[in-house]
Structure 1
Amino acid sequence: MASPFPIPLNALRAIAVVARGGSLSTAAKELGVTPGAVSQHIRRAEARLGVMLFERTPTGLVPTAELWRIRPMLDAGFRMLADAMAALAVERAGILTVTTGSAFAARWLVPRLSRFTGAHPEIELRFVATADVLDLALGDIDCAIRMGRGGWTGALAEKLIPQTVFPVCAPALASRLKRPADLATVPVIRDEGSLISWAEWFAAAGVASPPRLSGPSYTDPIPAIEAAVAGQGVFMAWQLIAADALADGRLVRPFPIAAPTEIAYWFVTTESRSRQRKVRLFRAWLDAELTSKRARPVSGVWS
C-alpha cells in the first residue's frame, strides 16, 4: 500500500512556513536546520511530487498556483496535529503558557498577576515575552496578548481594549508645557518600534503646523518610558503602558488631548485551546482587571 505521505513531515513543515510568507532562514530557524537543508527539502518534495511548489524569483520563493490551492489544507493539518499533541500533554494541564510583548508584561500584566495566581493557585504560569507573532498552532503556547489590528491567520482573536495615545512626562517637566508648540523646547523621547507617530497626536490636537521635535530615541519602549519617568523628556505613551506610572504620580499628562488609534490589545488563542478551563479563567480575569477601577490611571483616559 502506498504511503499517504510521499515526502517527510519536516519537508511539509518547511513548505508551509515558506508559503505563508516566511523565508528559507525563517523556516530553518523554526525547524532547527540550516537554510540549505530547507532548500533541499523543497527541491526533493517537488521532485517526488512531480509538481513545482515555488517559483524562484530574484526576491525569493513565490508559491505557485498549485501550492496556493492546497495551502489552507496544509495549515489546517498542522493545526490539528498541534491540537492533538496538546491534548496528549495531560501532565501539563495545570501550566498556562502565555506569550506577550515585554513592555505590556512588565508595565501592566506582571504587577497584577498575584491576583490571578491567588485566585487560581492550581494554575502555574509560564511566560514567553517577545514582540514576535508566534504561531499558536505550533508548540505549547496556550494564548497570546497581542497589540495590533487583529486578523491573524489561523487564530481566534478577541479584542480586549482599544488603545489611545498621549504625551506623558515627569511632573517637573510638565510645568514647562503650556501648549503643544512648547514641545519644541524640551527633549522628546522616541520609541523606534512604535506603531504610532507624533503626527497623529498633533492632528488630534488640531495643530496644523507641528513644531520640530528632537530628543533621544530607544529601540525598546521600556527604557523609553523609564527615561520619561526620570525627567529626561516627553514620551508618547500607550494608555496601558503608562497606566501605573500615571496612577502613582511618577508621570503626568501635560495636555488633555488623547489620540485614538486603530490599534488594540487582543486576546489570541486557537479554537480548541479556547475551550480549556485554564484559558477561559485567564481570559475572564483579564476582562475583570481591564474593567475594574484599580486598572485605570487616575487621569481616566480609557476609551
Structure 2
Amino acid sequence: MSKGFPIPLNAVRAIEIVARRGALAPAAEELGVTLGAVSQHLRRAEARLGMELFERTGQGLVPTAALRAALPQLSAGFAALQDGLAELSGSDEAILNLTVGSVFASRWLIWRINKFTTLYPEIEVRLTVTGAMLDLQRADIDCGIRFGAGNWPGVIATPIGGAEFQPVCAPPIARALKHPSYLYGVPVIRDETTMLSWDLWLQSVGLDAERRLHGPTYSDPSLAFDAAISEQGVLMAVDMMSADAVSDGRLVRPFTGPVSGPHQYWLATAKGRRETTKLRRFREWLAAEIPASARGYVHQSRG
C-alpha cells in the first residue's frame, strides 16, 4: 500500500517554486496565498521532514544541497501534473502559449506566424511579448523563444539561428560610410539591452575597440530598430532580425559582412514537460521556415 505525502502538496509546490525562483513572492502569487503563508509552508515542511530545506542568508533563502539535488525531480513532477490536467480537460492541443522578446516578435515572427496558423488552423497561437525571462514551468506557457547562450537552468533549449550580426543603417547614412572607420563620424545607436558586441565586430575589421562611438541610446530594442530605419544612426543587429528591412530597402548592410557571436535564438521549454503535438508542430515549422526565409532575403551592401 502506497504511503501518502509526508507534507501537503501545496507545501511541496511552495518549496519547488521558492527553490527554483529564489523568492517567496512567486510562490505566493501562483498559490494565491500570502507571503506569510508560504513561509509557514516551508517551516512546517522542514519540521515534518526533520531537515532544513533552505539556508536563511542576508540575500534571502538559498536551497540546501539536498533540496538542489531533488529539485529537478520536483519540477518535472509538477510539469507532468500540469500536462496531465491539460490533457484531461481537453485544452492541451488547442492553444499554443508562446513567450518572445519584442525584436523577434516584431521583426520576424509577426510577419510569418500566419503561415503556421494556415498550416494548423486548429491551433490558436497566443503571444506574450516581453523582455522579462518568464518562468517556463508556468502552466500558461508552452515554450519561449530566447536570445542568449542557451544554458538556462531547468530549460531544454534548441538553437534556431541568429548567431551572425553586423551594422545596419538607412540608405542615406550608408552613403557616407565608405570605410568602417567612418563610423566614428556618424551617430551609432546604442541598445541598452543588447548582447551583441560592437567590440567583436570592430576588431574583426581592424578598428580600435577602445575608441568611443557616439549616438542615441534606447532601452527598448524594437525602438532601436525603428531609430535605425528613421535615419538616426547605425545599429548593430542580428542578420536574421534585420533581413526583412534590408530586403525591402529600409536598411542597408554597409560593410563586408557579419561576425558570429556566442549568443543566438533558442526555442526553450521547461525540463520535464512532455512535447505536445502543437509544440512539435511549431518546432518543425521553425526548423523549416527560418532557413526558407533566409533564402528569400536580399542581401544589400555597398560595393
- Specify the alignment match of 1:87 in structure 2: 87
Task: Answer whether contact 2:253 2:300 (CA < 8 A) is retained.
Answer: no
- Specify the alignment match of 1:264 in structure 2: 264
Deviation at 1:267, TM superposition (A): 2.0
* Structure 2: distance between partners of 1:228 and 1:32: 44
Please tell me the residue identity of whatever aligns with 1:148.
G
TM-score by length of 2: 0.88
- Specify the alignment match of 2:71 in structure 1: 71
Output aligned runs, 1:32-181, within 5 Å. Answer: 32-181=32-181
How many aligned residue pairs are there?
A: 300
- Specify the alignment match of 2:219 in structure 1: 219
Deviation at 1:84, TM superposition (A): 1.4
Deviation at 1:87, TM superposition (A): 1.9
Please tell me the residue identity of whatever aligns with 1:222.
S
* Structure 1: distance between partners of 2:246 and 2:164: 14
Deviation at 1:145, TM superposition (A): 1.9
The DSSP-based 3-state class of the residue aligned with 1:98 is strand
Task: Answer whether contact 1:229 1:251 (CA < 8 A) is retained.
Answer: yes
Please tell me the residue identity of whatever aligns with 2:149.
R
Deviation string 1:30-80 (CA, Å, 9 cap, x unpaired) is 444443433232222222322111111122222223323322322222122
Please tell me the residue identity of whatever aligns with 2:283.
R
The DSSP-based 3-state class of the residue aligned with 1:80 is helix
* Structure 2: distance between partners of 1:194 and 1:167: 13
Task: Answer whether contact 2:203 2:209 (CA < 8 A) is retained.
Answer: no
The verdict on how the C-alpha distance between 1:260 and 1:216 changes in structure 2, with shifts beyond 3 A counting, is same
Deviation string 1:202-252 (CA, Å, 9 cap, x unpaired) is 122222455311221111111111011000111111122212111100000
* Structure 2: distance between partners of 1:208 and 1:148: 26
The verdict on how the C-alpha distance between 1:209 and 1:157 changes in structure 2, with shifts beyond 3 A counting, is closer
Task: Answer whether contact 2:252 2:300 (CA < 8 A) is retained.
Answer: no
Task: Answer whether contact 1:98 1:125 (CA < 8 A) is retained.
Answer: yes
Q: Which one is further off, 288-297 or 101-110?
A: 288-297
The verdict on how the C-alpha distance between 1:178 and 1:54 changes in structure 2, with shifts beyond 3 A counting, is same
TM-score by length of 1: 0.88
Deviation at 1:143, TM superposition (A): 2.5
Unaligned runs of 5+ in 1: none
* Structure 2: distance between partners of 1:33 and 1:206: 58
Deviation at 1:19, TM superposition (A): 1.7
Please tell me the residue identity of whatever aligns with 1:287.
A
The DSSP-based 3-state class of the residue aligned with 2:107 is helix
Identity across the alignment (%): 50
* Structure 1: distance between partners of 2:178 and 2:36: 59
Task: Answer whether contact 1:167 1:235 (CA < 8 A) is retained.
Answer: yes
Task: Answer whether contact 2:218 2:224 (CA < 8 A) is retained.
Answer: yes
Task: Answer whether contact 2:136 2:143 (CA < 8 A) is retained.
Answer: yes
Task: Answer whether contact 1:82 1:137 (CA < 8 A) is retained.
Answer: no
Please tell me the residue identity of whatever aligns with 1:64.
T
* Structure 1: distance between partners of 2:69 and 2:92: 36
Deviation at 1:294, TM superposition (A): 6.2
The DSSP-based 3-state class of the residue aligned with 2:52 is coil
CA RMSD of the aligned region, Å? 2.5
Task: Answer whether contact 1:161 1:266 (CA < 8 A) is retained.
Answer: yes
Please tell me the residue identity of whatever aligns with 1:57.
T
The DSSP-based 3-state class of the residue aligned with 1:146 is strand
Task: Answer whether contact 1:183 1:211 (CA < 8 A) is retained.
Answer: no
The verdict on how the C-alpha distance between 1:281 and 1:2 changes in structure 2, with shifts beyond 3 A counting, is closer
The verdict on how the C-alpha distance between 1:159 and 1:57 changes in structure 2, with shifts beyond 3 A counting, is same
